[in-house]
Structure 1
Amino acid sequence: MTISPPKILKIVKNRLEGCRLHQRRALSVPVRQFDPGNQIQRPVMGSSLVFSQLHLQTRQQSVHICQDSSTRTLSTPSPGLILPSNNGHETNSSSSSSAPAETVAVIHPQPSTHTRSRQSKTHHYAPIDLLPDHTLLQIFSHLSTNQLCRCARVCRRWYNLAWDPRLWSTIQLTGELLHADRAIRVLTHRLCQDTPNICLTLETVVVNGCKRLTDRGLHVVAQCCPELRRLEVAGCYNISNEAVFEVVSRCPNLEHLNLSGCSKVTCISLTQEASLQLSPLHGQQISIHYLDMTDCFSLEDEGLRTIASHCPRLTHLYLRRCTRLTDEALRHLALHCPSVRELSLSDCRLVGDFGLREVARLEGCLRYLSVAHCTRITDVGMRYVARYCPRLRYLNARGCEGLTDHGLSHLARSCPRLKSLDVGKCPLVSDSGLEQLAMYCQGLRRVSLRACESVTGRGLKALAANCCELQLLNVQDCEVSPEALRFVRRHCRRCVIEHTNPAFY
């Protein structure tokens, strides 16, 4: 014989009502137990626990019956089922399907405890909860992305404050094992709730060192962040040209791009679709000002030519260890990017004097130049830089073994505003070149002469006597006497001397 579901529910309710009646009697009339030794009847203190277990057994049976009849019960009941009613009686019949622990709370009411807890929730707060919203927002503005996500899990108020759009102008993610694609997708999806599919406040995305970032993550950034101004993906070697093209095409305000270590990137350009949408007057220009392509080993002359033609507003360009670049690439750079202020060609060993002649065409704009370990550079190339770049402030020529005192003299006479100079591991630089520097570049603050075998105390004394603003002097692996180092310390009290002479202290 089969029983219909309504009849099953009626049977369950009748059983639970009968159990509730027994519990009521247990609370009002204590159960007596006969003691044959003392001939005394004593009340059983745990009688209510017996009926709690009986209620638990009855509930398990009801759940089994409901599952057989394809009927579901709620697993998270209302908090009202836990608290007793005001008149001391039990709740209505709808509470019969509550959890066992909640039923025990109904069987063992503690009005005083519940009253105190209710008052404490009303009148007592944590000190930080007393702060107004604008103060908490100011505090949250100093937290990182990961910390903001944790704060959003504290309570409903913090959740609303932590996801305030004003706090999300920057997303910063780190970690080699982080699933960066998924993290970017989840964050942008949450930030797009108020403005569907667009994050109008997000301007900076930094995911340096996230090796699991792929083109899919950058595709989400390109689709959802049209106001992006800064993107850093250093060390994300899974990024390819297609993803970079899409970002620069869909984010017209992008100014800062760090692709160092992205070995698959060979150039930067607009997508074909974006190029067709541009007017002939506008051209195919990208508004990037800062570009770091350090360790992009696949970058060649043709790729740099494409970058220069599409990014004419470049002011900072770093091409360290792009070993395939030659002098021809620098010709296109000087032709299309006349506003470059900082240029790094360190360890580009195919760059020589002809390349420096092209760099010198940047003329008055160039302030920072690094040609460290470019072994093909000699005094000829340095003479071009000295003649056409009089506003040069920083020069790194470490390891340029063809540089001599003659080239250093041209540099000192033509660039009197020089502040920092590194000619370490240049064995042909001697005291004569240092004397010329001391005479014409008296504003020098940082000088590195590491492993310059021809430098002695005479050149150091000339520097110390004329360059009173000297702050750092590196003479490691140089044959200088302790007396010369003491002379430098006396005349340049703020100078930090890096040396390998054990006799000087």
Structure 2
Amino acid sequence: MKIFSYLPHNEISRNAAVCKKWRQIAYDTRLWNSVSLRPEVSGLHVYSIEHLMSLISVRFAASLRYIELPMELITHPVLHELANKCPNLTHILLDFSTAMQLHDFNDMQAFPTKLRTMCICLSEVIFMEGFMRKIYNFINGLEVLHLIGTYEKADEEEEEIYEVINVHKLKSATPNLKVVNLYGINFVDDSHIEAFSSNCIQLECLAVNFCAKVTGSSLKILLSRCKKLKCLLMNQCSLQNDQVMAAEWEKSAIQELDITATDLSAESILDLLTRIPSIRWLSAGQLDAFTDSVLKMWGENANLKNLVALDLEMCDNLSEEALYKFIGRFGHNLKGIVLSGIPTVTDSLIANVMPVLKNLRILKMGMPLDCSNRMQSKVHVDQLTDTVANYGKYMERLELSWDNDTLRFSDKSQKGIDTLRVRCPNLKCLVLCDGKYYEIVKANFERADRVTVVRTSKNSTTSNVYLLSHYIELIFN
């Protein structure tokens, strides 16, 4: 039972064919408390509704706490069975993203009532109101809501945008929400944010990443109504300077903020950051207006005693000197810092500031392949790994994604890699550009039976999201 608990469900199912003993263990409900029935995610295929109904009754039962359902399995008999046979179900994901036609839910009379977290992957064209109208009476206990849009599927050509789910009605049915994540939904605008703020006074975290129609006109109302709001994530929203400056940030409880790629001016960035009473997590990457003077003024006029995470990725108007002064002053509390995409960040800067960054757990440096020609100097990775090993005893995630033309290493690199591996025992992820140095490091860690640590930047990346206070609740998919 203990061994099987570490295996994915598709392997457990295959093991059930070995013998009667293994079959008894494999079908124990305790191994099936968290189940994904989306084939592309888990490899589990359920070919008929009748088979799923049997599984819910016999295999899942009272042990089930989390389930993911693809479009073809979201029917009212299945939802009735989940409501009746799975009293401890608290997390559900309903994937409508590939839907071209919705099932008939006119006869639906029951839905799981103890849900704490619900994630709905929206379709591009299917209107959800027929389904949502049937579940409004059952979801008033929700604390975490994810609505996932089709941002990654969007074409560059302008197409007609459909409001496939009625957010204004949904917010009335969910008064106890604490975390709302509206990810990449092309129709979400400030009126939808205002709707949530009018009914969800318990709101602590709001994420509207990749919702391009959000301009910030609802920020003033949002901050005045939701006094408990601590986390606000607005990556790649179309924020307007005047709307951001009109919000009363000084009266808010905001501690975590993401304004990455929002094209704000230097004036509005400085006005915003200096008015927040106490910030602990900031992501302000891809902002041309985030310059040395903004960084200096922010450090002089804001309360940064609680700052633990800073992301300045692709802010290439920052100089090495300005970063050195800022980190030297505030780096002792930092647990995560992202400085990738900045040409002036090399091994020399890290060698100078690393003694201050003694609590660091996440460090990201490097240059995207399409921007690698902007590097004016080479990076001596042996010196860099030695510095990180000496001062980063709490390091958990490290990314050094410079390409092979920028990295310089010697025949004695193995010694530095050994030192890094031994002195950073908490290291879970080391991301490098694919190439000769990556192969050397990967082989070193594999010989020490740490086969999952070293990864290539083609498949992995590092960020400060792990340090968000609501990180667990914000995970979806």
Please tell me whether residue 288 in structure 1 is matched to residue 142 in structure 2.
yes
Q: Report the alpha carbon displacement of residue 264 of structure 1 after superposing the two structures with TM.
A: 4.7
Please tell me whether residue 327 in structure 1 is matched to residue 178 in structure 2.
no
Deviations 1:304-330 (A, max 9, x none): 112211122222222122121222222
From the CA coordinates, give the structure whose radius of gyration is larger.
1
Aligned to 1:186: 51
Q: Which amino acid aligns with 1:470?
A: L
8 Å contact from structure 1 (residues 364, 389) kept in 2: yes
Within the candidate set 293, 296, 301, 1:432 is matched to 293
Q: Distance in 2 between matches of 1:247 and 1:442?
A: 53
Look up the SS of the partner of 2:227 in the other structure: helix
Q: Distance in 2 between matches of 1:143 and 1:266?
A: 37
Please tell me whether residue 157 in structure 1 is matched to residue 7 in structure 2.
no
Deviations 1:166-219 (A, max 9, x none): 33323233434968442664254145259xxx9343332135xxxxx4344444
Equivalent residues, number:
352
8 Å contact from structure 1 (residues 421, 446) kept in 2: yes
Please tell me whether residue 257 in structure 1 is matched to residue 118 in structure 2.
yes
Q: Which amino acid aligns with 1:167?
A: L
Aligned to 2:410: none
Q: Distance in 1 between matches of 2:164 and 2:224?
A: 18
Q: Which amino acid aligns with 2:269?
A: G
- Matched-pair identity in %: 16
Q: Distance in 2 between matches of 1:202 and 1:407?
A: 46
Q: Residue 166 and residue 476 in structure 1: after superposition, are their counterparts in 2 closer, same or farther (change >3 A)?
A: closer
TM-score between both structures, scaled by the size of structure 2: 0.63
Q: Distance in 1 between matches of 2:298 and 2:75?
A: 48
Q: Which amino acid aligns with 1:420?
A: W
Q: Distance in 1 between matches of 2:122 and 2:28?
A: 34
Within the candidate set 217, 234, 237, 1:354 is matched to 217
Within the candidate set 390, 394, 397, 2:259 is matched to 397
8 Å contact from structure 2 (residues 250, 275) kept in 1: no
Unaligned runs of 5+ in 2: 152-160, 368-374, 381-477
Please tell me whether residue 225 in structure 1 is matched to residue 86 in structure 2.
no
8 Å contact from structure 2 (residues 197, 226) kept in 1: no
Matches for 1:382-461 after TM superposition, within 5 Å? 384=247, 386-390=249-253, 392-416=254-278, 418-439=279-300, 440-461=303-324
Q: Which amino acid aligns with 2:141?
A: S
Q: Residue 141 and residue 475 in structure 1: after superposition, are their counterparts in 2 closer, same or farther (change >3 A)?
A: closer
Q: Report the alpha carbon displacement of residue 265 of structure 1 after superposing the two structures with TM.
A: 5.6
Q: Distance in 2 between matches of 1:316 and 1:242?
A: 29
The structure whose residues are more often helix, as a share, is: 1
Q: Residue 245 and residue 314 in structure 1: after superposition, are their counterparts in 2 closer, same or farther (change >3 A)?
A: farther
Q: Report the alpha carbon displacement of residue 292 of structure 1 after superposing the two structures with TM.
A: 1.8
Q: What is the Cα-based RMSD across aligned positions, in Å? A: 3.6
Deviations 1:299-352 (A, max 9, x none): 639711122111222222221221212222221110011222222212222211
Q: Residue 371 and residue 141 in structure 1: after superposition, are their counterparts in 2 closer, same or farther (change >3 A)?
A: same
Matches for 1:50-449 after TM superposition, within 5 Å? 137-176=1-40, 180-182=45-47, 185-192=50-57, 199-207=61-69, 213-226=70-83, 227=87, 228-234=89-95, 236-238=97-99, 249-260=110-121, 262-264=123-125, 266-267=127-128, 286-296=140-150, 300=163, 303-378=166-241, 380-381=243-244, 384=247, 386-390=249-253, 392-416=254-278, 418-439=279-300, 440-449=303-312
Q: Residue 287 and residue 262 in structure 1: after superposition, are their counterparts in 2 closer, same or farther (change >3 A)?
A: farther
Q: Report the alpha carbon displacement of residue 485 of structure 1 after superposing the two structures with TM.
A: 4.8
Q: Report the alpha carbon displacement of residue 230 of structure 1 after superposing the two structures with TM.
A: 1.5
8 Å contact from structure 2 (residues 139, 174) kept in 1: yes
Q: Report the alpha carbon displacement of residue 160 of structure 1 after superposing the two structures with TM.
A: 3.1
Aligned to 2:344: 480
Q: Report the alpha carbon displacement of residue 239 of structure 1 after superposing the two structures with TM.
A: 7.7
Q: Report the alpha carbon displacement of residue 445 of structure 1 after superposing the two structures with TM.
A: 2.9
